[in-house]
Amino acid sequence: MSLQQLFDLNGRTALVTGGSRGLGLQMAEALGELGAKVALTARKRDELDHAVEHLRARGIQAIAVQCDMSDPTAIAPAVGGAIEALGPIDILVNNAGTTWGAATIDHPLDAWQKVINLNLTAMFVVSQEVGKRCMVPRRKGKIINIASILGLVGGGDPGRPATIAYNTSKGGVVNFTRSLAAEWAQYDINVNAIAPGFFPTKMTKGIMDMMGDAVAHKAPLNRVGGPEDLKGLVALFASDACAFITGQIVAADGGVTII
């Protein structure tokens, strides 16, 4: 099989949670550019519609599925809607997430639960639903979980606010990825994770504003992530090129985690 064929996603369906902006939309672009049909989920209808319009303008077949992923009961209908519109899901990108900045001693319990529910519990529920309805019966599929470099390290940088719930949830994503990969390898389902470093998004705006250029200077490559910097990894993990890769967590961080 040629390299071009290995990366060809024509005829496949991808579901990208939290896909209306930021990293989710960047990854949706990559999948669509390789030929996949793309379903996006997000809470806000206007942002979803704008994202779908953006993808369609690039020649990508895309639909919007409005869903609050923090509500576990909303996930099954959303998955069902995507399947009904585009067919069985071949690629799942678990990207929906949130954060909360607070010192542990002052961290509200409801904020902790909000972060854990969206960043980790929703990932479990949507993976279970897609696995049950599409991937396990068909004995194939690619799952890409979005972790974070803050799930790989303690995050004790005095120059940034404490985010213990976020860090904990992303650490959970790391081992969720490994555990699911081990369990579902028998079905030829590949489960991998991307651990982004600092990218300018709506969620990171507060930290970016607080730390300024120091964010970029923390990376050996001396910059933050850009609009193309996750495309290669998501293309690899979504395609047949990763047939022998599973349970891996790859940092896209400009080298932050090597120092």
Q: Is 131 exposed, middle or buried (0-12, 13-18, 19+ CB in 10 A)?
A: buried
| Residue count of the chain | 259
Give me the catalytic one of 79, 86, 166, 237: 166
Q: Which residues are bridge partners to 94 per DSSP?
A: 145
pTM of the model: 0.95
Q: Which residues of the chain have pLDDT under 50?
A: none
* CB-CB neighbours of 59 under 10 Å: 8
What's the confidence (pLDDT) of residue 212? Answer: 59
| Whether 98 contacts 114, CB under 8 Å | yes
Tell me if residue 166 is catalytic.
yes
Residues whose CB is less than 8 angstroms from the CB of residue 37 and which lie 6 or more positions away in sequence, other chains included: 12, 13, 14, 61, 62, 86, 87
d(CA 202, CA 209): 11
Q: Which residues are bridge partners to 42 per DSSP?
A: 66
What's the confidence (pLDDT) of residue 203? Answer: 64
What's the confidence (pLDDT) of residue 117? Answer: 98
What's the confidence (pLDDT) of residue 91? Answer: 99
What's the confidence (pLDDT) of residue 160? Answer: 74
Residues whose CB is less than 8 angstroms from the CB of residue 104 and which lie 6 or more positions away in sequence, other chains included: 162, 164
pLDDT in tens, 84-94: 999 999 999 99
What's the confidence (pLDDT) of residue 213? Answer: 66
